[in-house]
Amino acid sequence: MAKPSLLPPRGERKPGERRSLTPQRPAFSIWYVLGLLLLLAVAQAVFLGTGGRSIPYSEFKALVRANQVTEVTVGDQTVAGKLKEPRGEGRQRSDAFMTTRIEDPKLVEDLEAHQVKYTGEVVSRWLPEILGWVIPLLLLVALWSFFFRRMGGAEGGVMSFGRSRAKIYADDDVKVSFADVAGVDEAEDELREIVEFLKNPKKYTVLGGHIPKGVLLVGPPGTGKTLLARAVAGEAKVPFFSLSGSEFVEMFVGVGAARVRDLFQQAEAKSPCIVFIDELDALGKARVQSPMGSHEEREQTLNQLLAEMDGFDSKKAVIIMGATNRPEVLDVALLRPGRFDRQVLVDKPDINGREAVLKIHVRTVKVSPEVDLRTIASRTVGFAGADLANLVNEAALLAARKDKTAVDMRDFDEAIDRLIAGLEKKRVMNETERRTVAYHESGHAIVASALPGLDPVHKISIVQRGFGALGYTMHLPLEDRYLRTRTDLQYQLAVLLGGRTAEEIALGEISTGAQNDLQRASDLARAMVTEWGMSDAVGAVSYAGESRGRFLEVGLAPERGHYAEHTAQLIDSEVKRILTEAHDLARTTLTARRAYLEVVTTRLLEREVMEGAELREILRAELPVPVAPEPDAPTA
Ligand code: ADP
Ligand code: MG
Ligand code: ZN
pLDDT one-digit tens code per residue, 383-417 = 899 999 999 999 999 999 999 999 999 999 889 88
How close is the Cα of 396 to the center of ligand 2, in Å?
24
Sign of CA dihedral 33, 39, 43, 45: positive
Which residue from 507, 489, 484, 502 is spatially nearest to 447, judged by alpha carbons?
502
78 compared with 17, residue with greater pLDDT: 78
- Distance in angstroms (rounded) separating the CA atoms of residues 381 and 431: 10
Q: Which ligand is nearest to the CA of 15?
A: 1
CB 399 within 8 A of CB 408: yes
Residues 6+ apart with CB under 8 A from 372: 409
Residue 237 reports pLDDT greater than 80: yes
Q: What is 431-551+561-620's CATH topology? A: Methane Monooxygenase Hydroxylase; Chain G, domain 1 (1.20.58)
- Distance in angstroms (rounded) separating the CA atoms of residues 462 and 350: 9
- In this structure, which residue's CA is closest to atom 9 in ligand 1? 224
User: Catalytic: 441?
Assistant: yes
**Angle, CA of 134, 138 and 139, to the nearest 5°:** 120
Average pLDDT over residues 193-213: 81
Q: Binning pLDDT at 50, 70 and 90, where does residue 560 land?
A: low
Q: What is the DSSP string of 168-193?
A: --EES-----GGG--S-HHHHHHHHH
161 compared with 597, residue with greater pLDDT: 597
Ranked by mean pLDDT, the top range of 56-60, 229-233, 418-422 is: 229-233
Residues 6+ apart with CB under 8 A from 432: none
357 compared with 257, residue with greater pLDDT: 357
Q: Name the active-site residue from 441, 503, 504, 608.
A: 441
- In this structure, which residue's CA is closest to atom 15 in ligand 1? 386
Of ligand 1's atoms, which has the minimum distance to the CA of residue 181? 24
How close is the Cα of 218 to the center of ligand 1, in Å?
13
Pocket test for ligand 1, best of 175, 216, 217, 227 (most atoms within 8 A of CB): 227
Q: Where are the extended beta strands (E) located within 227-271?
A: 240-244
- Distance in angstroms (rounded) separating the CA atoms of residues 184 and 157: 41
Phi, then psi, of 157 in degrees rounded to 5: 65, -160
Residue 98, H or E segment: strand 94-100
Residue 72, H or E segment: strand 69-74
Residues 6+ apart with CB under 8 A from 26: none
Phi, then psi, of 437 in degrees rounded to 5: -65, -40
Ranked by mean pLDDT, the top range of 38-47, 287-296, 546-555 is: 38-47
Residues 6+ apart with CB under 8 A from 302: 283, 284, 287, 331, 334
Q: Binning pLDDT at 50, 70 and 90, where does residue 266 land?
A: confident
How close is the Cα of 243 to the center of ligand 1, in Å?
17
- Distance in angstroms (rounded) separating the CA atoms of residues 282 and 178: 27
Domains of the chain, by residue range, sit at 56-123, 167-287+296-344, 351-421, 431-551+561-620
Options 3.20.20.110, 3.20.20.70, 3.40.50.300, 3.90.1150.10; CATH of 167-287+296-344: 3.40.50.300
Task: Read off the pLDDT of residues 165-176 as tens digits, 9 standing for 90 and up.
Answer: 445 567 778 889
- Distance in angstroms (rounded) separating the CA atoms of residues 366 and 4: 5
Average pLDDT over residues 189-212: 82
Task: Read off the pLDDT of residues 46-77 as tens digits, 9 standing for 90 and up.
Answer: 555 556 778 888 888 888 888 888 888 887 77
Residue 157 reports pLDDT greater than 50: no
Q: Which ligand is nearest to the CA of 348?
A: 1
Q: Binning pLDDT at 50, 70 and 90, where does residue 44 land?
A: low
Could you tell me the strand order of the sheet in which 472-475 lies? 472-475, 457-461, 609-611
Of ligand 1's atoms, which has the minimum distance to the CA of residue 14? 14
Neighbours of ion ligand 3 (CB under 5 A): 499, 517
Of ligand 1's atoms, which has the minimum distance to the CA of residue 221? 4
Radius of gyration (Cα) for the chain, nearest Å? 40
**pLDDT score for 167:** 54
Of ligand 1's atoms, which has the minimum distance to the CA of residue 183? 23
**pLDDT score for 583:** 96
**pLDDT score for 444:** 93
Q: Quick one: how many helices (H) and strands (E) in the chain?
A: 21, 14
Q: Which ligand is nearest to the CA of 220?
A: 1
Taking the chain, what is the end-to-end CA distance rounded to the nearest angstrom?
A: 77
Phi, then psi, of 501 in degrees rounded to 5: -65, -40
Question: Which residue ranges have their beta carbon within 6 Å of ligand 1?
Answer: 15, 181-184, 219, 221-227, 323, 357, 360, 385-386, 389
Q: Which ligand is nearest to the CA of 228?
A: 1
For domain 56-123, say whether CATH 3.30.720.210 is its number. yes
How close is the Cα of 404 to the center of ligand 3, in Å?
47
How close is the Cα of 444 to the center of ligand 3, in Å?
7
Average pLDDT over residues 140-145: 83
Residue 20 reports pLDDT greater than 50: no
- 10 Å Cβ neighbour count for 233? 29
**pLDDT score for 426:** 56
How close is the Cα of 261 to the center of ligand 3, in Å?
45
**pLDDT score for 464:** 65
149 compared with 494, residue with greater pLDDT: 494
Measured torsion, CA atoms of residues 44, 50, 53, 55, in degrees rounded to the nearest 10:
-90
- Distance in angstroms (rounded) separating the CA atoms of residues 385 and 183: 8
Q: Is the peptide bond before 629 cis (omega within 30 degrees of 0)?
A: no
Measured torsion, CA atoms of residues 156, 158, 163, 168, in degrees rounded to the nearest 10:
20
For domain 351-421, say whether CATH 1.10.8.60 is its number. yes
587 compared with 484, residue with greater pLDDT: 587
